[in-house]
């Protein structure tokens, strides 16, 4: 038994290889963090990604439309 992101197991869940149990009273939510070295510059791509994450966090509607590729 373990905790994994559901997106990482979509195919295995659909095939029945894994089971997703429901546990009443135990919310399956977590907090994620982005960490980076304060004294090292981020790449241009990392800056854009960080900006998108901050927009999503702050509730800006365009950022919430972003979807990951399958």
Q: Give domain status of residue 37, yes or no.
A: yes
The dihedral region occupied by 59, where left means phi > 0, alpha psi between -120 and 50, and beta the remainder, is: left
pLDDT > 90? residue 65: no
Q: Is the pTM of this model over 0.85?
A: no
pLDDT at 63: 47
pLDDT at 45: 92
Query: Can you tell me the distance from the alpha carbon of 4 to that of 11, in angstroms, rounded to the nearest whole number?
Result: 13
**pLDDT tens digits, 2-61:** 778 888 888 999 999 998 888 888 877 777 788 889 899 999 999 999 888 888 888 865
Eight-state DSSP code of residue 6: G
Query: Can you tell me the distance from the alpha carbon of 52 to that of 62, in angstroms, rounded to the nearest whole number?
Result: 9
Q: Give domain status of residue 26, yes or no.
A: yes
pLDDT > 90? residue 1: no
Q: Give domain status of residue 69, yes or no.
A: no
* Residue 63 token pair: 């950022």
* Domain range enclosing 59: 6-64
Q: Give domain status of residue 1, yes or no.
A: no
When divided into structural domains, the chain yields a total of 1
């Amino acid at each position: 038994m373990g905790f994994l992101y559901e997106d990482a197991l979509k195919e295995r869940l659909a095939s029945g290889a894994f089971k997703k149990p429901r546990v009443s009273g135990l919310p399956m939510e977590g907090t994620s963090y982005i960490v980076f070295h304060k004294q090292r510059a981020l790449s241009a791509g990392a800056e854009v990604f960080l900006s998108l994450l901050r927009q999503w966090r702050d509730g800006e509607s365009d950022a919430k439309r972003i979807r990951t590729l399958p």
